[in-house]
Amino acid sequence: MNTISYFVILYPVIVSTVWITGSIFFSIQERRIPLRNTHAGQPDELVSILVPAHNEEETLGQVVESIAKITYQKIELVLINDGSHDNTLAVMDSLKKRYHEQFPIKIVDIRINKGKANALNEGTKVASGEFLLCLDADCYVDKNVLEPMLARFYDNPKVGAVAGKPIVRNRTSILGRLQLLEYVGVIDIIKRGQAFVIGHITTVSGVVVAYRRAAIIDAGWWNVDAITEDIDITWRLYQHGWQVRYCPQSVAWILVPEKIMDLIHQRRRWARGGFEVLFRNRGMFITGHLSEQWLLLDMIISDLWAISCSFVTLFYLITILFTGDIIMDGVILFLLLLISLVQFWIGYADSKESDFIKWQDLSLLPLYVVFYWFINLVSCLTALGSFFLDPERSGSWSSPDRGL
C-alpha cells in the first residue's frame, strides 16, 4: 500500500511540475519566435465556419452574431441542423435572411440526430473553404479568432488542426466559477505544457478548432461512432502524419454545466472518449512517433492513478472507520496544495487579460483544488466502467445543461 500511496501522491506533483515548466517556456516562445508566413503576398484563403446544432434555438443566434464580428473577411457560414426537435431550423433560416449580404450562409438539414461527427462530415461536404473553423452552437467567438490560427497553418503545411482556447462565461454559480478556474489553471496549462514539452497535445477543444480540409479528408473524416469526436479526430490526424497546434490567442466564450450530475456526465464522456482513443490507437506505441507514445503513456498512467487513488482513499476511510486514527502527512498535503496553486497562478498570469477573472472567483481557489481532483477521479472511474460494460454506445448527442 505504501508504494501505491507514493504513486498517488507523487504522480500529480511530477506531472504538474512538467506542465508548469513547459507552459512557461511555451509562453516565452510564443512571444519571442515569430511564425513564418508561407502565404505572404497571396490572396486570402476562404474559411468555412461550421456550426453543428441540436436543439440550440436559444443559443444559435449568439454564435452567429459573434461570427458576424470576425475581422477576417473571406468567410462562409455553414449551419448544420442535426435532427433538432425545437425551432433550431427556423432560427437558421432567420439568421440566413439577416446576414446573407455580409457573408454566404449554407444550411444543412439532417432529419435524424446522428451526432456531431456526422454533422461535421455533412457540413464539410458542402463547405467550399480550404480551412474549416468548427464552433459549438452555444459559444461566443472572439472577433480576432482566425488570424492567429491561419498563421499556424501558413507556418507549416503539415499542420492539420489548430486548437483554440475556451473561456467559461457563465459564472453566476459556484460550479461555473470553479470550472472557470479549472480551464485557466489546468486545461490551458496542460495544453501549453504538452505543446512545448512533447510537441503534440492530447486533443483539440471541439468548441473552437480550425482544420485544414485536406487533412480531414486524408484522415478519413470524423468518426461517427466516436463518443468524443474531437479527441478521436486529433489522433486520426496523428496517425496520418499531420500535426496539431495549440493557439491560446484564438478564444471562444463557452457555457459550462451548472449542475453537478451534468458536469460528471460531461467529464465521464470525455474520459470515456479518452479510453476509446487509447484502445483504438494502441498500435501507435510501436508505430507512432515518440511524442505520440509519450501522450499515450501519460493517458495510461493517468488512468492507473485514478484507480490507485480510489484504492488508497478506500483504505484510508476503512482505517479511520475501524481505528479512529486520521493518518495524513501535513507536508505532503501542503505540497499538493502548493503545486496546484502555483499551476493556477501560472495559468492566471497568461489568461488574466482575456478571461476577466474577478476576486470573487479567486476566493474559491481552496475549494477548486479539491473540486478538480474529485471530479476527475469520479469521472475517470465511472467512464472506465462504462467503457467495458457498454462498449457499443453511439456518438449521438442531446442538449446539455449549460446554466441557462
pLDDT at 403: 46
- Displacement of CA 69 from its chain's centroid (Å): 24
pLDDT of the chain along its 404 residues, tens only? 567 777 877 888 888 889 999 999 998 888 877 776 666 657 789 999 999 999 999 999 999 999 999 999 999 999 999 999 999 999 999 999 999 999 999 999 999 998 999 999 999 999 999 999 999 999 999 999 999 999 999 999 999 999 999 999 888 888 888 888 888 888 899 999 999 999 999 999 999 999 999 999 999 999 998 888 999 999 999 999 999 999 999 999 999 998 888 888 888 888 888 888 888 888 888 888 888 888 888 888 887 887 787 777 777 777 777 776 656 556 666 777 777 777 777 777 776 665 677 777 777 877 777 777 677 677 666 666 665 556 555 555 555 555 44
**51-65: burial string, b at 16+ Cβ within 10 Å, e else:** bbbbbbbbbbbbbbe
Q: Say how far apart CA 179 and CA 171 lie, in whole Å.
A: 9
**Direct distance between the N- and C-terminal alpha carbons of the chain, in angstroms, rounded to an integer:** 45
Q: Answer whether 104's CB lies under 8 Å from 116's CB.
A: no
Sign of the torsion formed by the C-alpha atoms of 71, 164, 242 and 212: negative
pLDDT at 62: 92
pLDDT at 331: 65
Q: Within the chain, what is the greatest distance between any pair of CA atoms?
A: 75
The C-alpha cell 459556484 sits at 174
Q: What grid cell was written down for 309?
A: 487513488
CA distance to 32, 62, 68, 137, 315, per residue, from 93 (Å): 46, 15, 16, 15, 58
Of 222, 207, 192, give the one whose Cα is nearest residue 138: 207
pLDDT at 378: 72
